[in-house]
Amino acid sequence: MDAADTEVLRLRITEVFVSLQGEARDAGWPTVFIRLTGCPLRCSYCDTAYAFHGGEWRSIESLLAQTRAFGVRHVCVTGGEPLAQRRCLPLLERLCDAGFEVSLETSGAIDIAPVDTRVSRILDIKTPGSGEAARNLWQNLAQLTAHDQVKFVICDRADYDWAVDVLRREALDTRCTVWFSPSKGQLSERDLADWIVADRLPVRFQMQLHKLLWNDEPGR
Ligand code: SF4
């Protein structure tokens, strides 16, 4: 797909900004975030409800130009649920073509198979505590490669036990990096860290850097 094709393709965008990546394998890298508007889920702990509605229509070419102007190598396409807009797929492709290191944060409720394989897909598995576990599209797990990552946001001990069952049943740690993070304000970081160590769990613990640094302000 070239520039002439993507000039006319527009997506609903909530915000574009540069910050430090706060999560997963690229944590700490200066990163451009492209936040797409809209999400069909309503997780109990959602911290981006401001992206459910509104936004503005932007062409893929204008998003590429803005991204280039920031002068950083990493780009994270996020939401909302970015894959809820089908034009997210050509956006990802064009970002990869332009030479960026591209990651995609997705809820796990929409098919990831059509996503450009150069993209590192960060796939949530929604726990019961999220209120959206019924939305997990389990066939997505068969698509995972070592380039991808899986994330569980854990709300309480019952969520932890559920996540451990899924981890073991699906042998997730043999396919890709698996992250466990505590749901802020619901589960103490210390408790989750202690459980992981006690169980010698083959996962990586994470706390969200952007929340520690900027307390979750939009655009940071
Ligand atoms: S999938 Fe993400 S954006 Fe959508 S409701 Fe859940 S946490 Fe919020």
Q: Ligand 1 within 6 A of 108 CB?
A: no
In 3D space, the residue among 103, 105, 107, 87 whose CA is nearest the CA of residue 42 turns out to be 107
The residue whose C-alpha atom lies closest to atom 5 belonging to ligand 1 is 42
Q: What is the 3-state secondary structure (H, E, C) of 148-179?
A: CEEEEEECCHHHHHHHHHHHHHHCHHHCCEEE
Question: How many C-alpha atoms does 49 have within 13 Å on its Cβ side?
Answer: 6
Cβ pair 80, 38 in contact under 8 A = yes
* pTM reported for the whole predicted model: 0.94
Q: Rounded to whole angstroms, how far apart are CA atoms 192 and 184?
A: 11
From atom 1 of ligand 1, which residue's Cα is the shortest distance away? 107
pLDDT at residue 4, as a whole number: 61
What residues have CB less than 8 Å from 109, skipping those under 6 apart?
40, 41, 81, 126, 132, 135, 136, 137
173 exposure class (CB count in 10 Å sphere: 0-12, 13-18, 19+): middle
Residue 155, C-beta contacts closer than 8 angstroms, at least 6 positions apart: 44, 45, 127, 129, 130, 183, 186, 187
Q: Please tell me whether 31 is known to bind a ligand.
A: no
The tally of CA atoms less than 13 A away on the side-chain side of residue 220 is 11
* Rounded distance between C-alpha atoms, residue 155 and residue 181, angstroms: 9
Domain boundaries defined on the chain:
3-214
Q: State in Å: Cα 5 to ligand 1 middle.
A: 30
Q: What is the C-alpha R_g of the chain?
A: 17
Contact 79 CB / ligand 1 (< 6 Å): yes
Q: Whose CA is nearest to atom 6 of ligand 1?
A: 43
Instruction: Take atom 8 of ligand 1 and give the residue whose Cα is closest.
Output: 46
> How much distance in Å is there from the Cα of 40 to the middle of ligand 1?
8
pLDDT average per 10 residues of sequence, the chain (220 residues): 70 97 94 98 96 97 98 97 98 98 98 97 98 98 96 98 98 97 95 98 90 72
The 10s digit of each residue's pLDDT in 179-198 is: 999 999 999 999 999 999 99
- Give pLDDT tens digits for 9-26: 899 999 999 999 999 999
Decide the pairing of beta strands 30-36 and 10-20: antiparallel
Query: Which atom of ligand 1 is the closest one to the Cα of 40?
Result: 4
Residue 1: what pLDDT? 63
Q: Which numbered atom of ligand 1 lies nearest the CA of 52?
A: 3
Fold of 3-214: TIM Barrel (3.20.20)
At 213 the pLDDT is: 82
C-beta atoms surrounding 217 within 10 Å: 10
199 is in an annotated binding site: no
Closest to 70 (Cα-Cα) out of 95, 47, 43? 95
